[in-house]
Chain A
Amino acid sequence: MQSERAIAGESGHNRGPNRLPAQAGEVLDRSTSIRFSFNGKVYSAHPGDTIASALTAAGVRVLSRSFKYHRPRGLLCCSGHCPNCLVQVGDEPNVRACQQPVEEGMEVQAQNVWPSLERDLMSVNQLFSRFMPVGFYYKTFIHPRSLWPFYEGMLRRAAGLGKVDPETPWGTFDKQYLHADVVVVGGGPAGISAALSAASQGARVLLCDENSAPGGHLRFAAAAAPLAALLKELEEHPGIEVLSDTAVVGWYQDNWLAAVRATRLFKIRAQALVVATGAYERPLLFDDNDLPGVMLGSAVQRLIHLFGIKPGERAVVATANDDGWQVAADLRAAGVQVAAVVDERPVEGVAEGMEGVRVLGEHYILAARGAGAVRAALVAPVEGGGHSAGTGAQEFPCDLIVVSAGWTPAADLVYTAGGRSIYDEERAEMRLSDLPPGFYLAGRVSGTHGVEEQLEEGRLAGGAAAAFCGWGSAPEAAEIAALEERKTAEKRRTSERVRAAGKKKQFLCYCEDVTDGDLETAVAEGYDSMELLKRYSTISMGPCQGKMCSMNALHLCAQVRGQSVQETGRTTSRPPAKPVSLGALAGQNMEPVQRTPIHNWHQERGAKMMVAGLWLRPEHYGDPEAEVRAVRQGVGLIDVSTLGKIQLNGPGVPDLLERVYVNQWRKLGVGRVRYGVMCNDEGVVLDDGVCAHTKKEEWYMSTTSSGASGIFEWMQWWVQAGWGAGVHLTDLTDVYSAFNLSGPQSRALLQKLTERDLANEALPYMRVRAARVAGVPCRLLRIGFTGELSYEIHCPSASGLHVWEALMEAGGEFNLVPFGVEAQRILRLEKAHIIVGQDTDATSDPLAADMAWAVKLDKSDFLGKRELVRVANEGSRQRLAGFVMEGAEEVPEEGLQIVERDAGGELEIIGWVTSSRFSPTLQQAIGLCWLPREVAAQAGNAFTIYRRGKLLRARVHHGAFFDPQGERLNM
Chain B
Amino acid sequence: MPFRLIRQGFSSGPPPRMWRSQPLKDHYDVVIIGGGAHGLACAYYLATEHGITDVAVLDKNYIGSGGSGRNTAIIRSNYLTPEGVLFYNESVKLYERMSADLKFNVMFSQRGHLTLAHTDGAVNTMRRRAEVNQLQGVDSRLIWPDEIGRLCPLDLSDHPRYPILAALYHPPGGIIRHDAVVWGFAHQADKRGVHIHQQTEVTGIHVEGGKVRGVETTRGRIKTGMVHNATAGWGSTIATMVGLKLPMNTFPLQACVTEPLKPFLNVVVVSGSLHVYVSQSDRGELVMGASVDPFASYSLDSSLDFLEGIAGHMLELFPFLSKVRVLRQWAGLCEMPPDYSPLMGFTPVQGFVLDVGWGTYGFKASPICGKTMAELIASGRTPELIAPFRLSRFAERDLVGEKGAASVGH
Contacts and interface: CB of A to CB of B under 8 A. Distances in A.
Given A159-B283, A580-B326, A252 B162 contact: no
Interface in A86-132: 91-94, 112, 130-132
A164 B180 CA distance: 29
Given A137-B105, A160-B263, A173-B322, A155 B69 contact: no
A586 B315 contact: yes
A579 B18 contact: no
B323 A531 contact: no
B392 to A, nearest CB: 16
Interface in A585-621: 585-587, 589-593, 610-613, 616
A895 B161 CA distance: 23
A582 B69 contact: no
B4 interface: yes
Nearest to B315: A586
Interface stretch (B26-34, B126-134, B224-232, B349-357): B126-134
B284 A897 contact: no
B264 to A, nearest CB: 6
Which residue, B160, B324, B325, has most C-beta atoms of chain A within 10 A?
B325
A416 B62 contact: no
B261 A163 contact: yes
Contacts of B107: 137-138, 148, 152
Range, interface on chain B = 35 or more
Interface in B70-86: 82
A52 to B, nearest CB: 18
Contacts, number: 320
B5 A140 contact: yes
B161 A838 contact: no
A535 B64 contact: yes
Given A171-B323, A586-B322, A838-B121, A909 B315 contact: no
B230 to A, nearest CB: 19
A946 B135 contact: yes
Interface string B381-410: 000000000000000010101011111111
Contact of B105 (A142, A256, A525, A836): A142
Nearest to A166: B153
B262 A112 contact: yes
Interface in A812-851: 835-838, 841-843
A536 B100 CA distance: 20
B396 to A, nearest CB: 11
A703 to B, nearest CB: 11
Nearest to B2: A140
B57 to A, nearest CB: 14
Interface range on chain A: under 10, 10 to 19, 20 to 34, or 35 or more? 35 or more
Contacts of B97: 145
Contacts of A237: none
Contacts of A265: 308
B197 interface: no
Given A582-B326, A585-B326, A161 B312 contact: no
Contacts of B118: 611
Interface in A440-490: none
A137 B109 CA distance: 13
Interface string A795-819: 0000000000000000000000000
Interface stretch (B6-14, B46-54, B204-212): B6-14
A145 B100 contact: yes
Nearest to A168: B320
Contacts of A139: 2, 4-5, 8, 104-105
A423 interface: no
B308 A895 contact: no
A400 interface: no
Contacts of A591: 160-162, 312, 316
A583 B263 contact: no
Contact of B320 (A167, A538, A899): A167
Contacts of B339: 843
A169 interface: yes
A525 B403 CA distance: 43
Contacts of B18: 525-527
Contact of B312 (A586, A704, A899, A907): A586
Nearest to A578: B325
B325 A586 contact: no
A43 interface: no
Given A142-B2, A152-B282, A164-B264, A843 B403 contact: yes
B145 interface: no
Interface stretch (B235-243, B299-307, B358-366, B368-376): B299-307
Given A586-B308, A909-B82, A131 B20 contact: no
Contact of A164 (B10, B96, B261): B261
A859 interface: no
B262 A161 contact: yes
A149 B96 CA distance: 12
B9 A131 contact: yes
A149 B112 CA distance: 12
Contacts of B61: 531
A696 interface: no
Contact of B325 (A581, A841, A946): A581
Given A130-B9, A142-B103, A526-B19, A838 B325 contact: no
B16 interface: yes
Given A93-B259, A142-B100, A841-B407, A585 B62 contact: no
B211 to A, nearest CB: 33
A893 interface: yes
B327 A579 contact: yes
Contacts of B69: 535
Contacts of B63: 532
Interface in B110-148: 110, 118-121, 123-132, 135
Interface string A899-938: 1000000010100101000000000000000000000000
B179 interface: yes
Contacts of A152: 107, 109, 282
Given A166-B153, A168-B323, A582 B311 contact: yes
Contacts of B6: 131
Contact of B119 (A170, A526, A542, A612): A612
Interface of B: 1-2, 4-6, 8-10, 14-20, 61-65, 69, 82, 96-97, 99-100, 103-110, 118-121, 123-132, 135, 153, 160-163, 177, 179-180, 183, 198, 258-264, 281-284, 301-304, 307-308, 310-312, 314-316, 319-330, 338-339, 397, 399, 401, 403-410
18 contacts: A94-B324, A139-B104, A145-B97, A168-B319, A526-B18, A526-B20, A545-B328, A581-B323, A582-B258, A582-B321, A586-B312, A593-B161, A611-B162, A836-B410, A838-B124, A893-B124, A896-B127, A909-B132
Interface of A: 67, 91-94, 112, 130-133, 136-143, 145, 148-149, 152, 155-157, 159-171, 173, 175, 250, 252-253, 256, 258, 265, 267, 416, 521, 524-527, 529, 531-532, 535-536, 538, 541-543, 545, 572, 574-576, 579-587, 589-593, 610-613, 616, 682, 704, 706-707, 835-838, 841-843, 867, 870, 893-897, 899, 907, 909, 912, 914, 946
The list of the 7 closest CB pairs from A to B, nearest first, reads A160-B284, A837-B410, A895-B127, A583-B322, A585-B311, A842-B407, A579-B325
Given A524-B14, A580-B325, 7 more contacts: A94-B325, A142-B100, A148-B99, A525-B17, A582-B326, A841-B408, A912-B131
